[in-house]
Amino acid sequence: MKQMLFQKYDTILFDADGTLMDFSDAEHQALLRTFRAHDLPFDEQVDARYQQINNALWRQFEQSLITKETLLHTRFAKLFEELSVTGIDADAFNTEYLFNLGYGSKTLPYAAEVCRQLHARGCRLYILTNGVAATQRRRIHASGLMPFLSDIFVSEEAGCPKPALAYFEYVFARIPAFIPEHALMVGDSLSSDMQGAYRAGIDRCWLCSDSAKQAPIPIQYRISSLKELLDQHN
């Protein structure tokens, strides 16, 4: 990245999970707590199968092939069917899981320091996230990042997910004096963060620690750690 980066951008749009927030930790702890509450075994095999089911459903949701309601209703129902679990309502289990997920406020390395310093240097910071609004807002409010954020935009409240153009238009309309040329999307997901920003015509900064992984769309900046944002702003 060029050292002039943050002389160009004054509005930074951050993804939440995998960028600022440690979703893997939050998810694992929530699954463990919910499965234990129902005396169900939860091991690496169960975890791996849940991940496969859930990730596939989220990809369908991002492509507008299914609704959020279908995703939330299906993931545990399908898992329980495969595990031959009976006598547990999958929808109620999902509701309990989401409540437990709300405890997951752990941030990723450098997230708080990056937000603090960028905010101090005059950047407006926003979080753009897919997910269940009540859960995401609860996690972010408990993360310690709120003093540095101007607003949070959750797909559930927007009525459509990243990477839909309509989602980004919803966000842009709610940011005061928004200038697309002065905005930068920072995220770890090619399919939602980078693809969505590309569709919306704003510059992109891809957070990816895998140097072998390539982006199928043009990316202005690529970083392997959030700390690099500060390195380039000094």
Question: Active-site residue numbers?
Answer: 15
Strand partners, 125: 12
Phi, psi of 155 (to 5 degrees): -55, -35
Spatial neighbors of 131 by CB under 8 A, at least 6 apart, are 16, 17, 154, 155, 156
* 3-state DSSP assignment of residue 17: strand
Where do the H-state alpha helices sit in the chain? 5-8, 23-37, 44-62, 68-83, 90-101, 111-120, 133-141, 155-158, 165-173, 195-200, 227-231
Phi, psi of 183 (to 5 degrees): -110, 145
For Cα atoms 194, 161, 178, give the angle at the middle one, nearest 5 degrees: 65
Measured distance CA(141)–CA(86) in Å, rounded = 36
Would residue 128 be called left, alpha or beta, if left means φ above 0 and alpha means ψ between -120 and 50 degrees?
beta
